[in-house]
Chains A and B, each alone.
Chain A
Amino acid sequence: MSPGARRRRPPLALALPALLAVAFLAVPLLGVLVDAPWGDLGARLTEPAVTEALRLSLLVSGWALLLSLLLGVPLAWLLARTDFPGRTLVRCLVILPMVLPPTVAGVALAQGFGRRGLLGEHLERLGWTLSFSTAGAVVAATFVAMPFLVISLEGALSGIEPHFEEAAATMGAGPLRTLWLVTLPMLRPALAAGAALCWARALGEFGATITFAGNLPGTTQTLPLKVYLLLQGDPAGATAVSLLLLVVAAGVLIALRGRWVGALQPGR
C-alpha cells in the first residue's frame, strides 16, 4: 500500500458508523468528566479509604501481570510454535475467561479453588486459603486478565516468520536461548501492548473478585469494588474514584503506546 492510499478520504459509508462508534465510546467517559466533583476532587481522592483501595489495586494488578507473564508467555509460545493435540481446545480454554461474565468466572473460581472447591481442601491443608484474601483477588484478576496477554502474544508470534529463529538454531542456539535472544526482542512491542491490556483488565476487575475473593477494605476491596460500594451512598465519591481509574488506565495505555510506536521504528 502506498502512503497516499492510506491518506485517502474515507468513504462516508465507513466514516459515519466509525464516528458513531467513537461517540458511543466517548459519551459515557465524557459523562464521568462532566459529573466529577471537581471542586473537592483532591480531598475525595486522598481519603484514606480511597488511597488504601488504590494501593491494593496496584498491588493486585501488578501481581496479576507478573503471574500472567510468567505463565502466559510460555503458553503463547507453545500455542504459536508447536502443534500438540488438543491445541484448539486449549486456545478456547484461554479465551473463555475473556467472554465469561466475570461473576460466572468468580463462581467457577470458587468451585475450583474455594474452600470446598476441587482443589480448595488441598490448598487449605497447605495453609493457602484464597477466598477472602489478597491472594484470592490476585487469582481472580489473573484468571480474567491473562488471556489478553496470551492471545496478543500468540497473534504476534504467528506473525513472525520463523526463519529468524531457524537461523539462530543453525548457529547452534538452543530453543530457550533462541526465545530469549531472538524471539522475545522481536516480540517486545507486542509484549508491551499485551501486557498493557492484561494489566488494564486486571486493574478493572470487579465481578470475579467480589464473587470469589469478597470485599474487605485493605484486603480485597480494590478500586472497582470501592466504586461499587460508594455508589450505594456517595455517588459523587463513586464518580471521583471512577475518574481516578480512568486516568490511571488511560495514562498507562498512552505511555506504553508511545514506547511501542518507538519500538516499531525501523533501524532501531
Chain B
Amino acid sequence: MPRTHTHRTRRTLPAPPRPAALLLPAALVLAGCGSDGGATGDDAGSGGGSEVTLTVLAAASLTDVFEEAGAAYTEEHPGTAVRFSFAGSQELVAQLHGGAPADVLVTADTDTMASAAGLTGEPETVARNELVLITPPDNPADVEGLADLDDPGLRLVLAAPEVPAGRYGQQILREQGVEAEPDSLEPNVRAVLGKVRWGEADAGLVYATDAVVAGDDVHTVPVPEERNVLAEYPAATLNEAEHPDEAADFVSWLNEETARGLLAEAGFLAP
C-alpha cells in the first residue's frame, strides 16, 4: 500500500540523528560563535638556542622558587634549559612509573622519594620546610592556632593524606590531639592555598613557603616549632635520564650558593 508507505517515510524522516551526529550542530554553532577557549600555560623553560633541555619533576610547593632557580641555572649554564613539571609528589612518582621521561625528581618528603627508589640515583636533601596555618586576610573565623581547628562549623581545607603536605598536616593535628573535620582534602598543597585565597575555606594548613608566595592574600598563623614537623625535600637524578650528566650537575647545583639563596628567599630552611 503505497500510501501507508509514504506515510511511514514521512514519519521516520524527522527522526533525530544518531548520537554522534547530534554533536554536529554544536560544532557548527561553535564555528560561528568564535569562542577563543581557555588559555593554556606553557611552563617550559625559555629554550632559545639551548642544546640540552633538562626535565625536572618537582613537588607542587616548589613551583615558584624553581621557576626562578631554573632561569638562574640557565644563566649560569648557557646551553642548558630547565623545564619543570609540578604536581603532588605522589603524582610525580606515579607519572614516572607510567613511563614519563624526565631527568630529575624532587619530592616534598623522603617517603615518596623512597617509593621511587628503583628509578632514581642517590637522593640529596636540598631544602626543608614547615607547615603554617593560613586564613583569608580578614580571618573570618578568628583562627588563632591549631586548637581552633576542632570547631565543626569551621570550613577547614587540608591536603589529602595521599600527598606529603596532607600527611604532615595529619601528623601535626594527631600529635596535638586536635579533632579536626576537614571540608575538603585537596590533591595538592597549592590547591589548599587556592581555596583559602578565594575565601572558600576559613583555614588551611600549607607549607610556610606557600604562605610566602600568597603574600597579603592570606593571613598566616605560625605553628610553634615544637608542634610542627619538618618536611625534607630530596632531589635525585633519574636512571632513565636523557641527560644524566646535566641532571647530576643540576642536583648538586641545588645545594650551592645561588640556589640556596633563592630557596631561603622563598622561605625554605637550609637542609
Give the CA-CA distance A125 to B200 in the complex, in Å: 15
Dominant secondary structure at the A interface:
helix
Interface residue A246 (Cβ < 8 Å from any Cβ of B): no
Interface residue B38 (Cβ < 8 Å from any Cβ of A): yes
Name the B residues within 8 Å of A114 (CB-CB). 198-200
Residues of B within 8 A of A (CB): 8, 11-19, 22-26, 29-30, 32-33, 35, 37-38, 40, 88, 90-91, 94, 97-98, 155, 157, 160, 162-163, 182-187, 191, 195, 198-201
Name the A residues within 8 Å of B98 (CB-CB). 235
Give the CA-CA distance A101 to B37 in the complex, in Å: 8
Contact B200 A132 (CB under 8 A): yes
Q: List 19 A-B contacts (CB under 8 A).
A: A155-B22, A159-B15, A159-B16, A193-B16, A210-B186, A214-B183, A214-B184, A214-B200, A215-B184, A215-B185, A215-B187, A217-B185, A231-B90, A231-B94, A232-B90, A232-B162, A235-B94, A264-B12, A266-B11
Give min CB distance, B13 to chain A, whole Å.
Answer: 8
Interface residue A216 (Cβ < 8 Å from any Cβ of B): yes
Give min CB distance, B80 to chain A, whole Å.
Answer: 30
Name the A residues within 8 Å of B17 (CB-CB). 155-156, 159
Name the B residues within 8 Å of A229 (CB-CB). 160, 162, 185, 187
Contact B198 A232 (CB under 8 A): no
Name the A residues within 8 Å of B25 (CB-CB). 151, 154-155, 158
Name the A residues within 8 Å of B199 (CB-CB). 114-116
Name the A residues within 8 Å of B16 (CB-CB). 152, 155-156, 159, 187, 189-190, 193
Name the B residues within 8 Å of A99 (CB-CB). 30, 35, 37
Name the B residues within 8 Å of A101 (CB-CB). 38, 40
Give the CA-CA distance A229 to B29 in the complex, in Å: 36
Name the B residues within 8 Å of A197 (CB-CB). 19, 22
Contact B184 A220 (CB under 8 A): yes
Name the B residues within 8 Å of A217 (CB-CB). 185
Give the CA-CA distance A26 to B270 in the complex, in Å: 49
Q: Which of B24, B26, B38 contacts A98 (CB 8 A)?
A: B26
Contact A233 B162 (CB under 8 A): yes
Interface residue A161 (Cβ < 8 Å from any Cβ of B): yes
Q: Which of B91, B155, B183, B195 contacts A232 (CB 8 A)?
A: B91
Contact A232 B184 (CB under 8 A): no
Contact B200 A194 (CB under 8 A): no
A83-103 vs B, CB cutoff 8 Å, 1 = contact: the mask equals: 000001001100110111100
Give the CA-CA distance A220 to B185 in the complex, in Å: 10
Interface residue A78 (Cβ < 8 Å from any Cβ of B): no
Residues of A within 8 A of B (CB): 88, 91-92, 95-96, 98-101, 104, 110, 114-116, 131-132, 147, 151-152, 154-156, 158-161, 186-187, 189-190, 193-194, 196-197, 210, 213-217, 219-221, 228-229, 231-233, 235, 257, 264, 266-267
Name the B residues within 8 Å of A186 (CB-CB). 14
Contact A151 B88 (CB under 8 A): no
Give min CB distance, A195 to chain B, whole Å.
Answer: 11
Contact B22 A193 (CB under 8 A): yes
Give the CA-CA distance A24 to B17 in the complex, in Å: 24
Give the CA-CA distance A233 to B157 in the complex, in Å: 21
Give the CA-CA distance A116 to B185 in the complex, in Å: 20
The verdict on A156 contacting B184 (CB below 8 Å), with A88-B33, A114-B198, A115-B200 known, is: no
Give min CB distance, A202 to chain B, whole Å.
Answer: 16
Contact A159 B14 (CB under 8 A): yes
Give the CA-CA distance A160 to B17 in the complex, in Å: 11
Name the B residues within 8 Å of A216 (CB-CB). 182-185
Name the A residues within 8 Å of B162 (CB-CB). 229, 232-233
Name the A residues within 8 Å of B186 (CB-CB). 210, 214-215
Q: Name the residue of chain A whose CB is nearest to the CB of B155.
A: A132
Give the CA-CA distance A159 to B12 in the complex, in Å: 11
Contact B88 A214 (CB under 8 A): no
Contact B32 A88 (CB under 8 A): yes
Apart from A151-B25, A210-B186, A235-B98, what 6 extra A-B contacts exist at CB < 8 Å? A91-B29, A190-B16, A214-B183, A214-B185, A214-B195, A266-B8
Name the B residues within 8 Å of A132 (CB-CB). 155, 157, 183-184, 200-201
Contact A95 B91 (CB under 8 A): no
Contact A267 B8 (CB under 8 A): yes
The verdict on A264 contacting B15 (CB below 8 Å), with A96-B35, A214-B186, A232-B88 known, is: yes
Contact A95 B187 (CB under 8 A): no
Give min CB distance, A65 to chain B, whole Å.
Answer: 16
